[in-house]
Amino acid sequence: AVLLNSLTEASNLYPKEEGVTYSYGTAGFRTLGAKLPAAVFRTALLAVLRSKRLEGASIGVMITASHNPEPDNGVKIVDPSGEMLDPTWEQHATALSNCPSTDSLISTFTTLATHLHVDLSQPASIIFARDTRPSGPDLVKALEAGLHAFGDNVKIKDVGVTTTPILHYVVKATNDQSGTYGAPTIEGYMQKMSKAFKELVGIRGPLVPLFVDCANGVGSSAVDTMIPLIEDVLLLRPMNTATGTKGALNDECGADYVKTKQAMPPNLAQLGTLDKPGTTGCSFDGDADRIVFYYVEDATRTFKLLDGDKIATMAAVYFKELLLRTKLTGEEKLSMGVVQTAYANGSSTKYLESRDIPVECVQTGVKHLHHAAKKFDIGIYFEANGHGTVLFSPHAIETLRKASPVTLEAGNAIRHLLNFYELINQAVGDAMSDMLLVEAVLAHKGWGSAEWNAGYQDLPNKLEKVIVPDRNHFVTYDAERRLSHPVGLQELVDIEVGKYEMGRAFVRPSGTEDCVRVYAEAKTKEDVEVLIGNVARLVQ
Ligand code: NG1
Ligand code: ZN
């Protein structure tokens, strides 16, 4: 009763606006920052319920809207393993956030506690962070108001302004019973990663300096902290680091801009940042969980994009080589596979299949990719937009640690794989970690970005948004590659696609925006333009 009184009092300070409907989707709650305080307050209640349900295990809360415009913000919950919130709890988040009054909030909260078998006297532990958005501090206040309403029974840790993947890392490390994952702090993250990276690069350094477009976001502080730790092997040259400039975040820069426009940030182009042959750039998104690379091709002076598919394919081919070199057989033989979504370029899928690397296609959204990747001993997943990571199964780690290598080469391969395991964020896609993964693989191969890009050529492709009266009328199947509703539309799309060599197109409702997305690829740019235009017209 004391608890309910203090929750009531606190909730009255964060009333839900009429007419706003929240929905906890692939990105948590995401909308204009000004509309979020009530949802964030209520997310605090759900995070506490979840922590208490899991006997006080630490739960993370991240306040960010990633690559979206600066006025937007969002909030999402991180489970104790460092992974996204258990999908079965998403509906509870939505239910709490939409209660019209404090009374209904309190009654929904108590019903949920009973229904989910939460013992409210259990302790709870919440770890939170935010990105650099101006609305962040107010939303942190709303979160803290929700947490403080529980009194001393809830332990709170504020990691401050940091990247989404660092928050996931801190949550995972805090809950790690074995104590081997790393220290649960930003410093712990930096130490773990820089040490593994330097061991991997070894005598191959110093590498060619790398330009890092930080999207004027929180990635710039992570890069600043990393620079001195690795500068003897790799010099990072941060760009777009104006986190204090109003409106700059994700504006004409960042991974989403580069991937969508298939062009480098205009200011980098203007400065001639990548003009020198052999120079490579990369772009983080606003919360540094996505990364894409690019360079200017020497002979043609054209922009070349190396996206999530290119990262996944290079990692897959290299890890397959390393696995062969380990000479592990029988029980010790480790499986490896790649998980993609329908947005993966058709050429990347073909390239993997031609190398006998298993490829699986799943629905958009990190939770689906992550889940599918766990089936492999080494599961590589990337969205084309640059969000992804490589997961090592407990069996893989145990096998690699115990293995007695038969040759020096086998021993080196095992050591490399274990260092990659230390380097690669095991909780979530991570721009910093993926950046160092790419640099380490390139160093081992003795490659620059042109050699990396030579593996296969992307099919020309395009992504478009179509605004429709109700995107819920669009229902998909086959990993979102086909439509069952509106009835008859898929047949029309098929006819259109059939007209173009290497044509492929699909239509799906966005999970994060109020629109339908149309994707098309084909052998030529001209065909892509016509194909996407015609499919978009069918959708309207
Ligand atoms: P939606 O809005 O469902 O297409 C977008 C991205 C996803 C993923 C989520 C989460 C595309 C085409 N879609 O999802 O890949 O990153 O946002 O942020 O890039
Ligand atoms: Zn992001």
- 23 annotated to a ligand binding site: no
CA of 287 to the centre of ligand 2 (A): 5
Residue 519 CA: which ligand 1 atom is closest? 12
Minimum-distance ligand to the CA of 287?
2
511 marked among binding-site residues: yes
- Spacing, Cα 370 to ligand 1 middle (Å): 14
Ligand number nearest to the C-alpha of 254: 2
Q: Whose CA is nearest to atom 17 of ligand 1?
A: 512
Annotated active-site positions, please?
66
- ipTM of the complex as predicted: 0.94
Q: Name the token pair of 355.
A: 């190398």
Ligand nearest to the CA of 131: 2
Q: How far from the centroid of its chain's Cα atoms is residue 373's Cα? A: 14
CA of 255 to the centre of ligand 2 (A): 9
d(CA 181, CA 192): 9
What is the full per-residue pLDDT of the chain (540 aa) written as tens digits?
799 999 999 999 999 999 999 999 889 999 999 999 999 999 999 999 999 999 999 999 999 999 999 999 999 999 999 999 999 999 999 999 999 999 999 999 999 999 999 999 999 999 999 999 999 999 999 999 999 999 999 999 999 999 999 999 999 999 998 889 999 999 999 999 999 999 999 999 999 999 999 999 999 999 999 999 999 999 999 999 999 999 999 999 999 999 999 999 999 999 999 999 999 999 999 999 999 999 999 999 999 999 999 999 999 999 999 999 999 999 999 999 999 999 999 999 999 999 999 999 999 999 999 999 999 999 999 999 999 999 999 999 999 999 999 999 999 999 999 999 999 999 999 999 999 999 999 999 999 999 999 999 999 999 999 999 999 999 999 999 999 999 999 999 999 999 999 999 999 999 888 899 999 999 999 999 999 999 999 999
pLDDT digits (tens, 9 = 90+) for 100-110: 999 999 999 99
> Tens digits of per-residue pLDDT, 116-153?
999 999 999 999 999 999 999 999 999 999 999 999 99
| Residue from 362, 370, 385, 389 to probe ligand 1 pocket by mutation (most atoms less than 8 Å from CB) | 385
Distance 517 CA to ligand 1 centre (A): 10
CA-proximal residue: ligand 1, atom 4 (nearest): 510
449 known ligand binder? no
Q: How many residues does the chain have?
A: 540
Other CB atoms within 10 Å distance of the CB of residue 308: 28
CA 263 to chain centre: 21
Q: Can you tell me which atom of ligand 1 is nearest the CA of 385?
A: 19
What is the 219 CA–ligand 1 centroid distance (Å)?
Answer: 20
Q: Which of 73, 364, 466 to mutate to test ligand 1, by most ligand atoms within 8 A of the CB atom?
A: 364
434 among the known binding-site residues? no
The Cα 418–Cα 412 span in angstroms is 10
Fill in the amino acid letter for 107: S
The Å distance, Cα 381 to ligand 1 centre, comes to: 14
Could you give all domains of the chain from N- to C-terminal order, each with its CATH number? 2-161 (3.40.120.10), 186-306 (3.40.120.10), 309-434 (3.40.120.10), 461-539 (3.30.310.50)
Mutate to test the pocket of ligand 1, among 510, 513, 514, 518 (most ligand atoms within 8 A of CB): 510
Sheet containing 359-361: give its strands across: 359-361, 336-340, 378-382, 388-392
Residue among 218, 252, 256, 257 nearest 238 (CA): 218
Within 6 A (CB) of ligand 1 lie 26-27, 66, 343, 364, 383, 385, 387, 510-513, 517
The atom of ligand 1 lying closest to the CA of 463 is 12
pLDDT number for residue 1: 78
Q: Is 285 annotated as a binding residue?
A: yes
Whether the CB-CB separation of 200 and 234 falls below 8 Å is answered with no
Q: Strands, E, within 183-254: which ranges?
A: 210-213, 236-239
Q: Which ligand is nearest to the CA of 476?
A: 1
Tell how far CA 530 is from the center of its chain: 32
